[in-house]
Structure 1
């Protein structure tokens, strides 16, 4: 038991390589959705948590939104699946069984005048 106040700290770099949670942690394919082990559901903290969390987390999420919007604005999108997706209520509304999209670059589209 500590006799002085202590500040516990966990290294996300070590945490993300812990063999208890990640089998073959230096194999980058473990980050693919179908390869992620069930034990790792809450074992991924890329930005940390709490008052010592990464100050760049907000910037990273803003960058992701800008990249996604830029990418999406370059394409015309239409449903590609055979069935109309069914909305599933969760914390957010999600399509079931997912949403297949066909992307057509705008430079390939012919625009009627």
Structure 2
């Protein structure tokens, strides 16, 4: 399959997928700490073929991309989908589409499997 050039929107992935924080080596091997109690883990495929993992529960979510992680908190909203937000970005989960928004940038990733 040929490699297509990235659209102009996707430099945000090159900037460590929307400012995600690096994980320590022990976090990579073990996943989230047990006390965070994420009940749902899902994987998504983004336009540049990068996979991201979303761990979530009713109160918060953790977005993991490679060695980087960002924690977001559930946002009450009348708009469709589940919404999680932190000071840098908003995640919107509607069906099989995970939308990541930061300022005027937007990236949509598709669910690949339930882990």
Q: Which has the larger radius of gyration?
A: 1
Normalising TM by the smaller chain, what interval? under 0.3
**Greater relative contact order, per chain length (Cα 8 Å cut-off, separation 6+):** 2
The structure carrying a bigger helix percent of its residues is 1
The structure carrying a bigger strand percent of its residues is 2
Name the TM-score, length of structure 2 as normaliser. 0.20
